[in-house]
Structure formats: structure tokens, C-alpha cells
Amino acid sequence: MRLVIAEDSVLLREGLVRLLEEEGHRVVAAVGDAEALLSRVDEHAPDAVVVDVRMPPTHTDEGLRAALRLRTDHPDVAVLVLSQYVERRYAVELLTGAPEGVGYLLKDRVAQVEEFLEALERVSRGGAAFDPEVVRHLLAGTTRTDPLARLTPRERDVLEHMAQGLSNTAISERLYVSLSAVEKHINAIFDKFDLARTHEYSRRVLAVLRFLGD
């Protein structure tokens, strides 16, 4: 996989480069600010980027705004965003754009190497990868939403794992239930969210977006 890394911390940036290259990936550029990220993506057309939310000069949302711009200008480039904290607005903006090929992880997750690498592989294949802590935070902030209040505890568990980008098989393994039970719960979620079957959109994506709120 060809990658561009954008991280203003030199130690973390170099650590990511070393980790990813040891795993057989090619880091075509590693930069410390958002403008350089956009320039290198234009230049190299990588398969994916790993980008910090807070970058120079203000260390607020430069990285996030660059990630959102990449989703528009380079929709084929997967984007994995790293953040120090759970920041709801950023996760919502990413998902409500085009949730395929996008992820949002807390930086602590990088230390859990296998999970980080699996998340990167997943978004590069067009899937989604959202940190469980981010998903729990988002889900907790939407209990006032009527459709969510109609879900059973198990259905909420399934929805939380769907939001992390897991497949039905992976959800069944995580929750220790059968694949058919997972499919049953997902269909119940679709029904309670009034998501009719159609070829025009993904009910799975809309179910995840529904609990994020407007």
C-alpha cells in the first residue's frame, strides 16, 4: 500500500513510518502540516493517508479540514484520521460525507499495533474503521433520538459494532452470537429506523448515520 502520513509530532510521525514500512507498505511522503499533506497527495496519488486532526499553525482542525477536502478532491484515497480526544463533530463530518474508505481512531490505538494495522487495511479496502471509544461516545450522546430508544440492548450493541465498520461475521464473533442472529438484529434495526430496501443507498450506512444525529 502506498501511504502519505501527516503528523506534526516528529516522534510519532517517524514511528508510524517505521511501523508501516516494516509491515511492507511504502510511505511515499511524511509531512508535518495540512498544506504539505494536500500537496503530497496531489503529487503521489497514494492509496491511503493517515492524518492527525490538530496540526499547525493553530493546532485546532487543520488536519480534519484537509481530510474532508481529500474526500472531495480524491475520493479514491482512503483516509484514516487520528485524534487525541473524542471529538464528535469531526467524526460526524467524516461519516456524513462518504463513509466508505474512512476511519477515525484515537491516537492511543496506534500503540495497539494489530488493531491499528487492521483498521488501515479496512479503510484501504473501502470499509470504515471507527474507534470503539468514539462510537460509544457518539452513541451515548444520542439517547434522546426516538428511533434509538426503540432498539433493544442487543440491537444497540450490534449498531455500535456496525459503526466501527465491522462485518456481520466479525460482529457475530465479537458478541458471541450466531451470524443469523446478527442478521436478524440488523434487519430489526432497519425496520425500527424505517429504512426500506432500495438500490439507491446503503441501509447499513444510513443506520449508522441515524444514530449520529443531524
> What is the distance of C-alpha 98 from the center of its chain?
11
Domain ranges of the chain: 2-131, 141-212
Q: Which residues pair with 128 in a beta bridge?
A: 102
150-207: pLDDT as tens digits: 889 999 899 888 888 788 999 999 999 999 999 999 999 888 887 766 554 567 776 7
CB of 49 closer than 8 Å to CB of 79 = yes
Backbone CA torsion sign across 15, 17, 20, 24: negative
Element (H, E) at 155: helix 153-163
Q: 141-212: same fold as 2-131?
A: no
Between CA 57 and CA 29 the distance in angstroms is: 20
Q: In Å, how far are 99, 151, 159, 194, 197 from 187, measured between CA atoms? A: 20, 12, 11, 10, 10
SS3 81: strand
Q: Which residue has the cell 460526524?
A: 92
As assigned by CATH, the class of the 141-212 domain is mainly alpha
* Short-list 11, 64, 58, 15, CA closest to 38: 64
DSSP string, 22-69: HTT-EEEEEESSHHHHHHHHHHH--SEEEEESS-TTTTSSHHHHHHHH
pLDDT tens digit at each of 214 positions of the chain: 999 999 999 999 999 999 999 999 999 999 999 999 999 999 999 999 999 988 888 888 888 889 888 988 999 999 999 988 766 666 667 666 666 788 888 888 777 888 899 999 989 998 888 887 776 666 555 544 456 778 899 998 998 888 887 889 999 999 999 999 999 999 998 888 877 665 545 677 767 766 655 3
User: What is the architecture of the domain spanning 2-131?
Assistant: 3-Layer(aba) Sandwich (3.40)
